[in-house]
Amino acid sequence: MEQVDRRVGVAVDFSACSLKALKWAVDNVLRDGDSLILVAVRPEGHYEEGEMQLWEKTGSPLIPVSEFSDPIIMKKYGVKPDPETLDIVNTAAKQKQACIVAVMKILWGDPREKICEAIDNIPLSCLVIGNRGLGKLKRAILGSVSNYVVNNGACPVTVVKNVDNEHH
């Protein structure tokens, strides 16, 4: 039976933690024919260009990997993907036999709300998110983004823990 194409979301902020979540998603979740959708949330108010205002509510269009590998295009969105993230995504798109479509969606605002909105609006089949490993005090003040998304997101959410000292 043909499986419906899945849209696998990964919340990225281009930190070591989000890199780990992305690697995990590619290794464990992604299958041939899936779409890999990186969801990046930026703080509000970083609009360098007029077109940003148009996307404030809905987020950016889905940006193909060829474009989000281009620093000039990404500067327009105020986002700087790190080389490792681009490398993982480009490699994943090449390695899996069937075509994996990799795109990025950029949203502006509170990451907790915006990631949940992206799940509904894209819509995502599942989401992988890293946990930041914030200290207890910071988490009490900010609330954990991953916790919020697990409790409020409308799709299965996998939290990839960022443990620094693990050795396999």
pLDDT tens per residue across span 124-142 = 999 999 987 666 666 666 6
Output the furthest CA–CA distance in the chain (Å, rounded): 49
Residues whose CB is less than 8 angstroms from the CB of residue 132 and which lie 6 or more positions away in sequence, other chains included: 15, 17, 144, 145, 146, 162
Average predicted confidence (pLDDT) for the chain: 84
What's the rounded mean pLDDT across residues 60-89?
89
Helices (H), 29-64: 51-55
Residue 168: per-residue pLDDT: 43
For the chain, what are the domain ranges? 7-160
* Beta sheet of 157-160, edge-to-edge order: 63-64, 101-108, 35-42, 7-12, 126-130, 157-160
**Contact between residue 128 and residue 29 where contact means Cβ atoms under 8 Å apart:** yes
More confident residue, 53 or 11: 11
What is the model's pTM? 0.84
Taking only the tens place, the pLDDT of each residue in 1-50 is: 555 679 999 999 888 889 999 999 999 999 888 999 999 998 775 555 55
**Contact between residue 103 and residue 63 where contact means Cβ atoms under 8 Å apart:** yes
Fold observed for domain 7-160: Rossmann fold (3.40.50)
Q: Helix, strand or coil for residue 40?
A: strand
Q: Is the pLDDT score of 115 beyond 90?
A: yes
**Contact between residue 111 and residue 142 where contact means Cβ atoms under 8 Å apart:** no
Q: Which of 6-10, 93-97, 131-135, 145-149 has the highest mean pLDDT?
A: 6-10
